[in-house]
Amino acid sequence: MDLIRPGTRFDFIGKKKITVWISGIAILISLGSIFLHNGLRYGVDFAGGILLQIRFAQNVDISEVRNAMEAIGSKDAMVQKFGGENEFLIRIEKGGDDLEKISKEIQANLQQRFQGKNLEIRRVEVVGPKVGKDLKTKALWAVSLSFIAILIYVAWRFKQISFGLGGIAALVHDIIIAYGAISLLDLEYSLPLMAVILTIIGFSINDTIVIFDRVREDVKKYRKENLETIFNTAINETLGRTILTSGTVMMVVLILFFFGGPVIHDFALTLIVGLIAGTYSTIYVASPVVLLWNKHFTQKKKR
């Protein structure tokens, strides 16, 4: 069975004048949204604070929980429904050293107030501001260093710095768009979402390498053609694979999105955006960057 008829020749690269605009606008919207929202909405993992997940066996309205929190004296607490019936998330974003004490008092108070409603405290997270900051800086360092490593490895394997730069440009593009989606959809940036960003990085670089690899092969095969035509050929030759792989992964993520439960919901949503960006960026970010770089900076040996 063939998904794409052999010999198919879409002019992918020829559309780059349009797609530059698409990418540019997407990036602008992403950065603009992050900027207008004053950065991402960090969860307790990164911002520090207290998070409680509670569930009642009896019917309890959200306003009752809100009132209780106010009566306890935590006016800055955010209460929201979570998952199933009578289950709530309480969030208090706050720095300081006495978080542990505050969390203890709140728990004791809630237990007392909702006696007879069978309150179950399902999850408690108390994160000091130091830990969140640490996590942020360390993760940023780790990702930056891994990008440099990718740049060096790809440049070495493909014998041209432009391929390394193209790969990294696509990665940066995808990360910005994924963060833009997080910001636009007003998702809370927490640990699972950080894992998604890492997954997007892995997927995007994998996709890029597959096409670069085909370009490397075709450069030897069609010596007379110019690089732009070769990129087009390579993308067309691997089109079946791109659709199959991205399609299967997308299918999995869609299942996670619909059936994975509330914890996985945001996770899957971000991943969907990242997957689309990752597949698109291979063709319309990584490839044009290589072409542009070679046009302007590499001496033409032939012709």
Partner 1 sequence: MLRNLKWRLIVYGAVTVFAILLFLPTLTPELPAWFYKIIPTEKVHLGLDLQGGMHLILEVEAEKAIESYVERVKNNLRDDMRDKGIPVGKLEREKSNQIVLEVSGDKDKWEKILSQRYAVMQELSTTALDKGIWKVVLVLDSRQAEQVRKGAIDQALETIRNRIDQFGVAEPEITLQGTDRILIQLPGIKDPQRAIDLIGRTALLEFKLVDEEGNLDEALKGSAPEGSILLYQRQVDPKTGGVKKIPFLLKEKTLMTGEVLKDARVTLDTQFNEPYVALEFDDIGAKLFEQITGANVKRRLAIILDDNVYSAPVIQERIAGGRAQITGRFDMKEAGDLAIVLRAGALPAPVNILEQRSVGPSLGQDSIRKGIIATLVSAALVALFMIFYYRVSGVIADVALILNIILVMGALAIFRATLTLPGIAGLVLSIGMAVDANVLIHERIKEELRWGKTIRAAIDEGYRRAFVTILDSNVTTLIAALFLYQFGTGPVRGFAVTLCIGLLANIFTAVYITRWVFDFLTLKMNVKKLSI
Q: Show contacts with partner 1 in window 8-47 (CB under 8 A).
A: none
Q: Distance (Å, rounded) from C-alpha 303 to C-alpha 294?
A: 14
Question: Shortest distance, CB of residue 214 to partner 1, whole angstroms?
Answer: 7
Q: Would you give the binding string for partner 1 spanning residues 191-230, x where CB under 8 A is met?
A: xx-xxx-xx-xxx-xx--xx--xx--x-------------
Examine residue 107 and tell whether it contacts partner 1 (CB under 8 A).
yes
58 Cβ contact partners less than 8 Å away, ≥ 6 residues apart: 86, 116, 117, 118
Query: Which x/- pattern over 152-191 shows residues binding partner 1 (rule: CB under 8 A)?
Result: -xx--x---------x-----------------------x
Please report the sign of the dihedral spanned by the C-alpha atoms of residue 17, residue 32, residue 174, residue 244. negative
Note whether 57 binds partner 1 by CB under 8 A.
no
For the CB of residue 299, give the shortest distance to partner 1 in the complex, in Å: 26
Applying CB under 8 A, the span of 15-23, 32-40, 143-151, 224-232 interacting with partner 1 comes to 143-151
Question: Using CA atoms, how far apart are residues 237 and 243, in angstroms rounded to an integer?
Answer: 12
Q: What is the closest distance, in whole angstroms, from the C-beta atom of residue 125 to partner 1 in the complex?
A: 5
Half-sphere exposure of 33 (CA within 13 A, CB side): 19
For residue 90, the minimal CB distance to partner 1 (Å) is: 14
Q: From 203, 294, 199, select the one nearest 242 (Cα to Cα).
A: 203
Shorter beta-carbon distance to partner 1: residue 33 or 162? 162
For partner 1, the closer CB: 146 or 229:
146
Cβ nearer to partner 1, comparing 33 with 246: 246
List the x/- string, 237-256, binding to partner 1 by CB under 8 A: xx-xx--xx--xx-xx--xx
Question: Using CA atoms, how far apart are residues 151 and 162, in angstroms rounded to an integer?
Answer: 9
Binding to partner 1 by CB under 8 A, coded x per residue (else -) over 279-298, reads --------------------
Query: C-beta of 134: minimal distance to partner 1 in Å?
Result: 7
Closest to 234 (Cα-Cα) out of 3, 1, 63, 10: 10
The C-alpha atoms of residue 61 and residue 79 are separated, in whole angstroms, by: 11
Residue 120 is inside which H or E element, if any?
A: strand 119-127
Place of tokens 């996985």: 264
Nearer to partner 1 by Cβ, of 74 and 204: the residue is: 204
Closest CA to 90 of 49, 124, 64, 53: 53
